[in-house]
Structure 1
Amino acid sequence: MKTARVLGLTAGALAVAHSLPALTSLGPVRPWVAPRLSGPGDPGHVALTFDDGPDPASTPKFLAELEKTGTKATFFLLGQMLIKAPELGRELVAAGHEVAVHGWAHRPLLIRSPRATRDDVRRARDLIASVTGEQPRWYRPPYGVLNAAALYAARENDLRTVLWTHWGQDWTARATADSVLRSVTRAPLAGGTVLLHDSDCTSAPLAWRSTLGALPRLLDLCAEQGLKVGPLREHGLVA
């Protein structure tokens, strides 16, 4: 009976330990759960990042909008999207943007085995490097949900894991340009890492339009505050 109880407690503890990383996906608690992983950087800089591309239906529109101000960003790419639009991955790099790893498939890591997680990260990293000619430096897991296997896979592939300090909550059908901007600016932007989406492959159909509508207003606001906007490579991330 005692042995069974100990085993039960151990199993429960392991389950909790496995589930706790899911807290990294929750905006209000992330800075306390994973302050360094959230991506705080130079207080005079804002890191602009996009997830879930590249998408031929939407990513070119974001590139055109960013080009108007000469703004560069970091694009966290999915292997399943890049393999269908390799020329768009090359276009990102040619335009001076940074490419990073979002994994091969957009699936929660908590339902995947450690081996599957390692394969997912490696495949995506290898494809991004071979297609774009740029070796990615950063990794962001789907939904921002981390576990030990993901952190190990990132280190094994010479990637630094970065989540976000600000998000636009731009993936829902209810999102608007106004709501995206309000969400991103709920906290001071200085030194923040902003998460937006340039694709609706895992979002409500056409949700990216709200993000695109908010983008020029966000860039204007940063300029008014004297903040430089750019990719993670220029963010001076806290070690």
Structure 2
Amino acid sequence: MRSGVDRGRLLTAAVAAVPALVAAAHVVPAGTWLSGPRRAWLPALAGVGAPDHVALTFDDGPDPRSTPAFLAALDELAVRATFFVLGEQVLRHRRLSHDIVRRGHELAVHGWTHHRPWRPAPVREAGQLARAAHAVAEVSGVLPTWYRPPYGILTGDRLLAARRTGLRPVLWTAWGRDWTAQATADSVAATVLPDLRGGGTVLLHDTDRHAAPGCWRAALGALPALVGACRAAGLRVGTLDEHDIARPARAVRARTR
């Protein structure tokens, strides 16, 4: 009799623990948002690649109000970049999305919308990510490789969805905090440069749709200084496709100042 009661208690405890385990599986992977541990323990996820190369990336577009200015600036600098786009924006602005590709840039997946994953929703995440990847493939003519979740929050649901969709998650090693109302070209450059090394991946934004109005001008204005600093250090600047993330980065001597 007692053994039956004990088994019943164990079963009740196990059932009660399920929500906590589900929540942990959802939240724990999001700890990769912390840049220090990410670079040390998960260099591929951090975007660490070839030591003589810097990957330049932009999130949240495409946006017809601002993205064309970035494309013009990149043309002038003779630099190609990776644009992490939102699926809903790609469908709204197909011509602009195609123009990004036509100019030699790489399209990657930022999700379908720019939402925060407060609760586990594996079916929704898988469906939306697959939909976004399809939209990018339709516009670019090639299957996308990279996925960066909105806000850099890589939950268990998003990680599983990326694997099912055949996308490689990648975050960043340096960012410009260019989404704030106080951001300027000088502040963006000053924020990026101390963390900018060969093999690094830089995160900027080519739109203010999910940030302070007009803040994209700060990122745009910082581009010449950032690209110039990389070239002065003997570093190439380009897309994630050129970044060779699969190869473990060796010790890097060159560093921008």
- More displaced 10-residue stretch of structure 1: 155-164 or 93-102: 155-164
2:189–2:226 contact (8 Å) kept in structure 1: yes
Instruction: Check if 1:89 corresponds to 2:97.
Output: yes
Structure with greater Cα Rg: 2
1:164–1:195 contact (8 Å) kept in structure 2: yes
Q: 1:57 aligns with which of 55, 65, 82?
A: 65
Q: Identity across aligned pairs (percent)? A: 48
1:109–1:142 contact (8 Å) kept in structure 2: no
Residue 10 of structure 1: CA displacement? 5.6
Instruction: Check if 1:171 corresponds to 2:171.
Output: no
Alignment length, in residue pairs? 239
Residue 143 of structure 1: CA displacement? 0.9
Could you state the TM-score of these two structures normalised by the residue count of structure 2?
0.86
Local SS of the residue matching 1:234: coil
- More displaced 10-residue stretch of structure 1: 137-146 or 178-187: 178-187
For 2:13 and 2:178, the matched residues in 1 are separated by: 45
Residue 27 of structure 1: CA displacement? 3.2
AA matched with 1:106: H
- Equivalent position of 2:224 in the other structure: 216
- Equivalent position of 2:198 in the other structure: 190
- More displaced 10-residue stretch of structure 1: 2-11 or 209-218: 2-11
Residue 148 of structure 1: CA displacement? 2.5
Residue 174 of structure 1: CA displacement? 1.4
For 1:199 and 1:111, the matched residues in 2 are separated by: 27
Instruction: Check if 1:230 corresponds to 2:238.
Output: yes
2:81–2:105 contact (8 Å) kept in structure 1: yes
Segments of structure 1 that go 5 or more residues without pairing to the other structure are none
1:39–1:238 contact (8 Å) kept in structure 2: no
Q: 1:68 aligns with which of 70, 76, 88?
A: 76
Residue 147 of structure 1: CA displacement? 2.1
For 1:207 and 1:33, the matched residues in 2 are separated by: 32
AA matched with 1:46: V
Change (3 A) 1:188 1:82: closer
Could you state the TM-score of these two structures normalised by the residue count of structure 1?
0.92
Change (3 A) 1:174 1:111: farther
AA matched with 2:48: P
- Cα RMSD between the aligned structures? 1.9
